[in-house]
Structure 1
Amino acid sequence: MPARRKARKRALDVLYEADLRDRPPVEVLAGYLERIAKPHPEHLGYAVSLVEGVAQHLDRIDEIIASYAEGWTLDRMPVIDRNLARIAVYELLYVDDIDDPVAISEAVELAKQMSTDDSPRFLNGVLGRIAEYATR
């Protein structure tokens, strides 16, 4: 698994736990980092930046997802899909060195592995519309 995909998976783990436990992502991240054996893997830095970035911009990210997820509220989305979308939207809007198609395809690939059969198509559509918005 490529390093950035591993980082996204770790970020998803933290955001998923924070979402389920209704805790701040940065607080869950701190506990997560304590549990990881040292030395930490190289990709962990990117995972931390994803979690911190999503946490910092969470309200705006959720607002954007909600406005582009036609017929779906954030609460109705599967927890994995919601958090994959958050990571991808953060990358689309705030990470300059990640191309939009890469951010979208990484979210879709993780959805194929970890979520419902409909999730990859759903995320691809929502994130594609958001990417169009982001490039304006």
Structure 2
Amino acid sequence: MKLTIYYDGQFYVGIVETVDGNTLRAYRNIFGPEPNDQDVLEFIYSDLLSLIERNKQKGLIADQDIQKKINPKRLQRIVSKEIKQAGVSTKAQEAIKEQYDLRKKEKVMKNKQLRDKQKQDKREKKILKAKNKHRGK
């Protein structure tokens, strides 16, 4: 499990990455304007497990890299490149995006069903009203 905290321009955001076997799952938490150490520790001790349990999601397949001896100069280049990076892995961003798209599709389907039901109810009321008019009531 890995927690990465970064500043997105407005708020500090924490990305939690978990790897189970070969499945990568990522979760996002917004800390606010400027969290202190106490806020982060409170999140880790109390809110982290509930966040993971609440957001059961399908993960991405993580690549298992085979570690072999790396040239020290190459290692130094890799480390400096990672330090310059924004901090969130692309796989984590991909997992969050997939979860967001899934929730969006569910919401669109739910809203469509609600609209169809409202149209059907309105049509039934209109038909009933027309029948009552013809009966002379």
Same fold (TM over 0.5): no
- TM-score, scaled relative to structure 2: 0.24
Which structure shows the higher strand fraction?
Answer: 2
- TM-score, scaled relative to structure 1: 0.24
Higher radius of gyration, 1 or 2:
2
